Amino acid sequence: MKEEYVKGTQWTAKYLLYLFKPQNHKLKGLLLNYLILLLLTFSFCSCSTDTISIHKPITDGELLISKSKTFALGFFTPGNSTSRYVGIWYYNLPIQTVVWVANRDTPINDTSGILSIDPSGNLVLHRILSTIPIWSTNVSLPQSLTNNNTVVIAQLSDIANFVLMLNNTKAVIWESFSYPTDTMLPYLKVGFDRKANQSWFLQSWKTDEDPGKGAFTVKFSTIGKPQFFMYNHDLPWWRGGPWNGALLAGIPNAKRARTIYNVSFVGDDNSVAISFNMIDKSALTRTIVQPSGFIQTLTWDNQKSQWNQFFTEPTNQCDNYGTCGSNSNCDPLNFEDFKCSCLPGFEPKFPHDWYQNGDGSAGCVRKKGASVCGNGEGFVKVVSLKVPDTSVTFDKGGLNLEECEKECLRNCSCTAYATANVRNGGSGCLAWHGDLMDIQKLSDQGQDLFLRVDKVELANYHKSEKGRLDKKRLLAAILIASIVAIVLLLSCVYFMRKKKRNEKVMQQLNQDSSGEENGPQSNTRPNLPFFSFRMITAATSNFSNENKLGQGGFGSVYKGVLVNGQEIAVKRLSKDSGQGKKEFKNEVTLLVKLQHRNLVRLLGCCFEKQERMLVYEYLPNKSLDFFIFDQTQRSSLDWDFGMARIFEDEIQARTKRVVGTYGYMAPEYAMEGLYSTKSDVFSYGILLLEIIAGKRNSHREKERSSPNLIGHVWTLWTEGSALDIVDPALNQFYPSDIVLKCIKIGLLCAQENAMNRPSMLEVVFMLSNETPLSPPQKPAFLFNGNQDLQESSTSGGGSSINGLTETTISAR
């Protein structure tokens, strides 16, 4: 490569010297050496360039590289050829893939080529030491644009467009996208502009080694309604069809392509243009016209380092233009060798060739004796077609289908009509006059064609349509009845299985708890929905860590979303939690009965595959402990903050199992198993003091003597400095008399003797009214300094007995 650079640089220097024509031979030698040194300096600089200027041409061996390093422009030799061409190709691909050629019909047979900008402002390809152009942009520019104050440059863009422009205004003088060769790239357009007398089309190479203009051309026709065509020496070879408002119906996979392409089409009476770009901007794709007569769309596969085919045309006999002649339909889905059939009201033009030789190229003609002009004729619908060649159509955009039918019926030469734009239910009117050519049956992106027939054919059509409609109705009725029966049967089976499963689950839950004496929930069944393990697994994304809300001694809590969109919180008990079937059933039964607006609602449970799970409503604002025990969040709460209120009847019972959280359990319950509503009052008092202090009852501080919060509050109360426990986050912004009242109520609720504690009704009265309060007695201290307690690591729920932590209740 270095030798090629030096050689090219020497040729460039000699060419420039030739232009200067110095008469002094000594001066000539000095200039030559200087120019070579200067050009070599530019050639071997570490920077790459995407621009040609008047003073900076490129020679054979040099490259222009687009800023994104996607495309390169330079000299290349295709295949085993010896000729040199200027072209654009993908820069970083292992396979050199050329997308544009400048001098496709005028190659250079050596490496003396140079691409420069001449004094007139045109791009010119010529040989060194020669001023005869091999190729040129040949643009006529006003003298005012080529004076010394205006600089013309040519730049290779990141979309492979080589643009000649004025450097000071970026005004485009010429661009390669206006003169494509055989390849259509994203943002390059194919079409025509009648006013500018310009067209943009693709033309194949002659061979894989000769980029000269080949036999096959892809462009939009300008006769009738414009349509996408591939021609073989100006004869129709394949037809992509007209734009129907959504796609070119004759291009296969057009609907699927819209998932990876953005297709743009603009058209009016004077101009038509179609282009595309990729939704994934990093993907590489191109559409190419092959020398063999195929149009292909290819995408680059980075993993396999190869071009993969997205679609190719033509692919079957019906894709070739006019396979079945006029007034006939070619069906590629027909597995027989002969794929042609005459349209309704038509018969083969040459029956012997049609039936005996399987040759339908002559097409079909109207049946003998048929009258389609003012004799009771009408239209029949032929469904899902690539509409006929629109060279003989009139596009009447302001008409709907009904108006289109009337318009066509008034003109005896009108043979068929269809919707011009399929979007939004259809609009516009396409009317055909004369024979109908190149019709093909399409499986998924075809249009309906309304064909003119005589009254006999029309009557036969309506009769057959009625028969088909009756059959369809009968089949539909049978199908609906069958579906209803199946749904009912499956529903019955589902509900019976669900009922049996629920009964089995409850039977399992009752097996261990049915003999529990004096149990608070024995021999009771909660009326609660059961969730399947599969349903909960799907809702929580298989209990993913991203959905994990917290973890405690009982297990973990996960966020989930049901199929109906409802958000849930799933408490999944771990096998090591120590909670058995009796405790699980007791918790379910208790929570079902506790329905209150300030309590989290239990939605259901799961008892399947040795799994025990509770399904709660999801609280997006989290629980109270998230706010009052967090250094940052607690600052968002002030003293007007609301508290939950719970009312219960006076009931006392004794249980053999003590379940709950240390720090909140009343002493008579923790020590003797005696439980009553006064036990709840104790827990409420602890919670009230925690809210005021912003600390847990189990929170320990080295500087104080008491191991827990309640002991510390009692000490400060007896010393007359109870306000010292108030959360510092309140910043002294609170009513001291009300705070002292709340502290006193908290201590009254937490008294050691249950009989001395007020009822919750009395607590509410004390909080809501100005009334004298009796002095509190010594509270119960459940902790001592030597007690080893395990605290929840994530949920913040304190310590637990029997592996159970408390159920957090938040004010809302």
Please check whether residue 360 is in contact with residue 338, taking contact to mean a CB–CB distance below 8 angstroms: yes
Please give the Cα distance from 769 to 133 (Å, whole number). Answer: 105
* Residue 433 clears pLDDT 70, i.e. is over it: yes
**Residues annotated in a binding site for ATP:** 571
Burial class (CB in 10 A: 0-12, 13-18, 19+), 246: middle
605 lies in the same domain as 660: no
In a domain, 9, yes or no: no
In a domain, 5, yes or no: no
173, 204, 227 - which closes a domain? 173
Strands 261-267 and 271-278, by their bridges, are antiparallel
Q: What is the mean pLDDT of the chain?
A: 81
In a 13 Å sphere around the CA of 256, the CA atoms on its Cβ side amount to 6
333 lies in the same domain as 205: no
Strands 439-441 and 328-330, by their bridges, are parallel
683 lies in the same domain as 566: no
In the structure, what pLDDT confidence band is assigned to residue 388 with cuts at 50, 70 and 90? very high
601 lies in the same domain as 463: yes
* Residue 376 clears pLDDT 50, i.e. is over it: yes
639 lies in the same domain as 601: no
What number of other Cβ atoms are within 10 A of residue 595's Cβ? 9
Strand order in the sheet with 306-313: 183-184, 285-289, 295-301, 306-313
In a domain, 145, yes or no: yes
What number of other Cβ atoms are within 10 A of residue 43's Cβ? 17
584 lies in the same domain as 483: yes
Please give the Cα distance from 430 to 745 (Å, whole number). Answer: 87
In the structure, what pLDDT confidence band is assigned to residue 120 with cuts at 50, 70 and 90? confident
pLDDT over 90 percentage in the chain: 44
For position 696, which CATH number holds?
1.10.510.10
In a domain, 277, yes or no: yes
419 lies in the same domain as 484: no
* Residue 414 clears pLDDT 70, i.e. is over it: yes
Strands 414-421 and 393-396, by their bridges, are unpaired
**Residues annotated in a binding site:** 571
Residue 175 parent element (H or E)? strand 172-175
295, 315, 335 - which closes a domain? 315
User: Tokens for 809?
Assistant: 């209740």
Please give the Cα distance from 21 to 319 (Å, whole number). Answer: 62
117, 151, 173 - which closes a domain? 173
Strand partners of residue 362: none
Could you tell me the residue range of the domain that residue 428 belongs to?
A: 325-451
pLDDT at site 96: 95
Domain count, the chain: 5
Q: Which residue is associated with the tokens 């709950």? A: 660
* Global pTM value: 0.57
pLDDT at site 501: 64
For position 203, which CATH number holds?
2.90.10
* Residue 644 clears pLDDT 50, i.e. is over it: no
Please check whether residue 574 is in contact with residue 633, taking contact to mean a CB–CB distance below 8 angstroms: no
Residues 6+ apart with CB under 8 A from 355: 348
In a domain, 221, yes or no: yes
495 lies in the same domain as 559: yes
In a domain, 550, yes or no: yes
Query: Mean pLDDT across the stretch 651-677?
Result: 64
Please check whether residue 750 is in contact with residue 686, taking contact to mean a CB–CB distance below 8 angstroms: yes
413 lies in the same domain as 458: no
DSSP 356: I
Please give the Cα distance from 324 to 338 (Å, whole number). Answer: 10
In a domain, 8, yes or no: no
Residue 90 parent element (H or E)? strand 85-90
710 lies in the same domain as 669: yes
Length of the chain (residues):
812
For position 155, which CATH number holds?
2.90.10.10
Residue 3 parent element (H or E)? helix 2-20
At 55-86, the pLDDT tens digits run 899 999 999 999 999 999 999 999 999 999 99
Please give the Cα distance from 734 to 55 (Å, whole number). Answer: 81
Phi, psi of 783 (to 5 degrees): -100, 150
pLDDT at site 1: 39
In a domain, 30, yes or no: no
Query: Mean pLDDT across the stretch 574-592?
Result: 66
645 lies in the same domain as 741: yes
Please check whether residue 792 is in contact with residue 805, taking contact to mean a CB–CB distance below 8 angstroms: yes
Strands 64-65 and 346-348, by their bridges, are unpaired
339 lies in the same domain as 204: no
For position 604, which CATH number holds?
3.30.200.20
Please check whether residue 392 is in contact with residue 432, taking contact to mean a CB–CB distance below 8 angstroms: yes
